[in-house]
Structure 1
């Protein structure tokens, strides 16, 4: 087992988690860029930071060691000679910046930043044209000239990466290894560069076994990956995760070296729509035998089980019959499981609170979970069902379309 990572459930006592505190990248959002950058509104940064700080304090108060993505990446880049320069080139490649002169000007800006964490934060924040020496005399191409034309060009030379505070998505810890995910949208693919260098060069996490890599052609995102038990995971076939990626991940987990410990992969096909973007937006585990679920998926899910086939490297697939609760009970080896409906039986509350991540919870221990404060109907139901709730203020964080589970990448959980 790699000493830094151990995730074999969604509910074991949480000991270590990675977050990212929202920063100046949110200030580079504008109404014109919301669509491409996957936001529906522009959060108020100061309040989003206050809410996120409260989230981090609540985790720390539960005895969880809180790590931050940008700090870890900076430590990785400082640990190995040449890693920082390699990171900058890789990040520029992924940014897809047109124009040789523009690329050179951005590289000059990055090289002028002495502190490595400030460099990492700058790469997340995005680059504005007015930060660069982009005089027309330096232009080497039409693309360069367009960037220097204040009337024709965008104020942004490289877009921000505002979704990065949803640390769950870019890479996912499964057992003592990681799925380094291949993100669907171009703007989020740049997030993979941070995970790539962290897992390559960090003194503690470098050399972690990789169950999937971000250079694979088939997209998969961490919000679709749930570690249901020591030998079983669930993966959503969703708007963001393709069946082909699940085939590859399952083959690696079931047959690859080193051993992952995974014997079964359950693939849950959910509707491919914005409000259901990931599996963890429609159900998450809150206790050993209890899940919160969006009622809109009940009766519509199609579930497949993937296991080792008869021959080396072969994966057997079968479609499962039965209701979601029956399938989950069999998967976990339980007599039965409870499904607690987001919004209860109120059809308006259920869709409203699912939109605001009422089904997206983060367990710090069995039966003790972090939730968004704003989902009052669902929270009341969970509390009455005996689930202990830690409520996070969420007026601004929720505008990014992700909840407590999305905002956290668990690194270590105790056995259940």
Structure 2
């Protein structure tokens, strides 16, 4: 291995991946606050964990090293000073108005000696009823409110794809679309700054969490060692893509082109990888609804700045040109059936995780799309997807490749 991170494709044999096993943060979801926390439903934690364990087993059975976000974060709290700095930063972004409440919670968190227990608690959030009685000297404290949480939970954490992205041998530590999810990126910051596996490894930082413009990992696809695809979506804006491209070109990595896919700002599409993923050298899954209005822009490095052009051609031809293949095959989610396409895209039929060329992990429930994938010659590992899918994310969303073999 050349370093701890190596991701120059979407399809190279997967060797190391980062997951987060759903925890008590899902039990802090409440119907009245689902929209605030970017959920449409409440998964049953016990079954969600069983499904996630099956996902991890599929990966390990196929030779993939599985790392867990919660373990890496605990191992990154290498000193009392780092622990306190983490807690201070975590609380500064927890949207707590009362200084007295911040001080009370900090004392509670600092008192947790077990590092993994501390990390789990920061992910789960904290209900107001968990706080001890303390002197209420501020107007904010005395007024109070009916909101049940002193600190919101982070139920989206099992979608490890989004808060940072591995590109080449670097990372894009993302600025997330919502305040709810932006706190998630604190964990990646501390892992890459302090964990023995990554610290002092000279890992390029291709985007920073404190940037002004939003970008999320579900919109960042590494199509080859020369080409990235990034979605302009509900969660990622064009300015962020330009900044990412400039930073990548400055690093003198092998990437020559960034293809920006304008998929529109729709909740049902959310990220590029919910409607488009690469499954083989010349095969992609795609949701047919985006094809008609899809606009693709190419971004390359010019003498003075970026060169940005609108690509005027069919998507298949654009992909074939930039990937250097004779042609590509688009496998349409749900086939030609409008209802099946809409239903299976909602249940992440287009969100596949490729673990080797032509070999993918999918939800078992998307039977129409799965049959089409098999007819196209792909090998499928089918994952039970009853509870995990309620968070609106599939196998790609739930995984962050750390190391892939080059192709």
- How would you bin the TM-score normalised by the shorter chain? over 0.9
Task: Give the structure 2 partner of residue 115 of structure 1.
Answer: 114
1:65-108 CA-to-partner distances (Å, cap 9, x unmatched) read 00000111111112x45111100000001112110111011111
Count residues with an aligned counterpart.
405
Is it true that 1:172 corresponds to 2:165 in the alignment?
A: yes
Cα offsets for 1:355-407 (capped at 9, x unmatched) = 00000000110000000111011001111111110000010000001000000
CA contact (8 A) 1:105 1:134 kept: no
User: Of residues 200, 221, 225 in structure 2, which corresponds to 1:226?
Assistant: 221
1:46-195 to structure 2, matched below 5 A, reads 46-78=46-78, 80-135=79-134, 138-147=135-144, 152-195=145-188
CA distance in 2, matches of 1:88, 1:261: 38
**What is the rounded CA distance, in whole Å, between the counterparts of 1:109 and 1:45 in structure 2?**
26
CA contact (8 A) 1:102 1:134 kept: no
Rounded Cα–Cα distance in structure 1 between residues aligned with 2:246 and 2:148: 45
1:279 and 2:279 are equivalent in the alignment: no
In structure 2, the partner of 1:6 is: 6
Q: Which residue of 2 aligns with 1:324?
A: 315
The alpha-carbon deviation at position 166 of structure 1 amounts to 0.1
TM-superposition CA deviations, 1:1-54 (whole Å, max 9, x none):
861100000000000000000000001000011000000000000000000000
Corresponding residue of 1:303: 296
* Alpha-carbon contact 1:357-1:402 (below 8 Å) kept: yes
Question: Per-residue CA shift, 1:91-133, capped at 9, x if unaligned?
Answer: 0011121101110111111012111111111000001112111
Unaligned runs of 5+ residues in structure 2 are none
Once residues 317 and 143 of structure 2 are traced to their aligned partners in structure 1, the CA distance between those partners, rounded to angstroms, is: 59
Using structure 2 for the length normalisation, give the TM-score.
Answer: 0.98
CA distance in 2, matches of 1:81, 1:281: 40
* d(CA) in 1 for partners of 2:133, 2:371: 56
How far residue 146 of structure 1 moved from its aligned partner, in angstroms, is: 3.9
Structure 1, gaps ≥5 residues long:
none
Counterparts of 2:258 and 2:4, CA distance in 1: 24
Other-structure match for 1:240: 235
Distance 1:22 1:146, change over 3 A: farther
Deviations 1:326-359 (A, max 9, x none): 1111110111000000000000000100000000
Contact in 2 for aligned 1:146/1:153 (Cα 8 Å): no
RMSD: 1.1
Tell me, in whole angstroms, the C-alpha distance in 1 between the residues paired with 2:133 and 2:164.
Answer: 35
Aligned partners of 1:21 and 1:52 also within 8 Å: yes
1:262 maps to 255
Does structure 2 conserve the Cα–Cα contact (< 8 Å) formed by 1:2 and 1:177? no
SS in 1 for 2:264: coil
- The separation in 1 between residues aligned to 2:265 and 2:147, in whole angstroms, is 32
- Offset of residue 245 of structure 1: 0.3
Per the alignment, residue 391 of structure 2 pairs with 400
Structure 1 stretches of 4+ moved >6 Å: none
